Structure 1
Amino acid sequence: MASVDECRQALQDLADRLDRNAETVRERVDLDRTLACRITDLDTAFHGRIADGRLVEMTDGDDPKAKIALSTSSDDLVALVRGELDVTRAVASRRVSIKASPFDLMKLRKLL
């Protein structure tokens, strides 16, 4: 099981990757939405925003009103960010759950 710090670092790595590729991401997914990432096996969460092709304002704690909510285990989160776990397969096998409006899911799908 990955630690809270490892999960936090994985999300920071993802934010850094999106930041480096913000222009490309923004062209594919034009969203400005709140995001919650819930780590089921650690009973913890992080929240922030997807805006202008970037993942910004990530901080500890849940946002129950987040427009997009991702739930997964700590190990699966780390594996997803490292590219070791295919997100489409993870969602299909219920290792990852993404709750969002149908419109947002369609936009997010462009990133998968």
Structure 2
Amino acid sequence: MANLEECRSAIGLVSERITQLDEAQRRAHIVERTISLTVSDLETVFAMRLTPQGLVDVTDAPLSTADGRAQVRITIASDDLVALANDRLDYAKALLTGRVRVKASLGDMARLRKLL
């Protein structure tokens, strides 16, 4: 099981990957959204905003204090989060096998797929 610091680093890696995309791609596929990332085995929720500048305003809090109002809600285990961020786990497979659960609009799901 990964710890909170490893999860923060994984989120940082994903943010870096976003900022490395061509600016035209970011403008085409990124619409600012609020995101909650529930790390189920750590009972922690990371709240953040997705912007063309990456994932910003990242905070974490215990699961018991989560408000559930984010536009995109993701649930994942800590090891899977780290594996996804390090390209050791395929996003599509993880989604299809239930290792990653996403609650979002269809448009947001399509945009996420193009980013990951």
TM-score with structure 2 length normalisation?
0.86
What SS does the aligned partner of 1:49 have?
A: strand
Distance in 1, Cα, partners of 2:24 & 2:81: 23
Alpha-carbon shift at residue 54 of structure 1 (Å)? 1.7
Q: 1:83 corresponds to which residue? A: 87
Q: 1:98 corresponds to which residue? A: 102
Distance in 1, Cα, partners of 2:57 & 2:30: 17
Residue 5 in structure 1 maps to residue 5 in structure 2: yes
Structure with bigger helix share is: 2
Alpha-carbon shift at residue 17 of structure 1 (Å)? 2.3
8 A contact 2:73–2:103 mirrored in 1: yes
Q: 2:26 corresponds to which residue? A: 26
- CA deviation map 1:47-79 (0-9, x unaligned): 111112521111113452100011010000000
Distance in 2, Cα, partners of 1:103 & 1:75: 27
Residues 24 and 79 (structure 1), Cα distance of their counterparts in 2 relative to 1, 3 Å cut: farther
Residue 45 in structure 1 maps to residue 45 in structure 2: yes
Residues 24 and 76 (structure 1), Cα distance of their counterparts in 2 relative to 1, 3 Å cut: farther
What SS does the aligned partner of 2:41 have?
A: coil
Alignment of 1:46-65 (within 5 A): 46-52=46-52, 54-61=54-61, 62=66, 64-65=68-69
* Same amino acid, percent of matched pairs: 38
Alpha-carbon shift at residue 111 of structure 1 (Å)? 2.2
TM-score with structure 1 length normalisation?
0.89
